[in-house]
Amino acid sequence: MEPVALPWGRPREERADAARNRAHLIDVARRMVAELGADKVTMDGLAEQAGLGKGTVFRRFRTRAGIFHALLDEEERHFQQRVLSGPPPLGPGAPPVERLVAFGRARLEFLAEHMVLARASLDPGRPVPVSESPSLFHVRMLLGEACPAEAASGALALQLVAALEGPILLYLHSEGTPEVDGLIAGWQVLAERVCGVS
């Protein structure tokens, strides 16, 4: 059973000027992150660099974290395409446990590659949004195929995704955190044991 799409959702149709402003702001924000580092990117600075009013930037992103969320969302869409239509085992065509292991590997590599954006996109006033993540949808689907009885409630998928994404976003590259290869090996052990693979 393959989903038609992960629930990123298609944005509502934008007015042409709003779409141009969004694309311009994303380009300017990406350049600022590359040149200055994420910690130096502010709402006011983005407005100034983009040559747009502060109100336009605040309406578009709402918070500083929203700038990085928008940048990360662009990368997430590429990741989604690899999951939905890339070659197996990440994409369709492999057994569910193999896909689950491959998904964890790819997700950890993605988070490591985009760690600056991922960490900056976290709003300190809000929890890590695991419960609405496309990863949860995908992991739940794979568990439903691999071990339907255990996966029926959805709690197992939530626990696996929380173990995969929540702590990684907060702690990857912090002192004492295992390297990505170690995390990938741990994910494989976890996924295979959960699914009864010895």
Alpha helices in the chain (DSSP H): 16-36, 43-50, 54-61, 64-85, 96-113, 115-120, 134-146, 148-151, 155-164, 166-171, 180-194
CATH number of the structural domain spanning residue 139: 1.10.357
pLDDT exceeds 50 at position 182: yes
3-class secondary-structure state, position 178 = coil
Q: Are residues 50 and 22 in the same domain?
A: yes
CATH number of the structural domain spanning residue 32: 1.10.10.60
Q: Are residues 155 and 175 in the same domain?
A: yes
Looking at residue 8, its pLDDT comes to 47
Q: Are residues 70 and 38 in the same domain?
A: no
132-161 per-position pLDDT tens digit: 578 889 999 999 999 998 888 889 998 888
User: Does residue 4 fall inside a structural domain?
Assistant: no
pTM above 0.85, yes or no: no
Domain housing 146:
65-194
Q: Are residues 134 and 146 in the same domain?
A: yes
User: Does residue 2 fall inside a structural domain?
Assistant: no
26-47 per-position pLDDT tens digit: 999 999 999 999 999 999 999 9
Q: Are residues 107 and 183 in the same domain?
A: yes
Question: Considering its fold, how many domains does the chain have in total?
Answer: 2
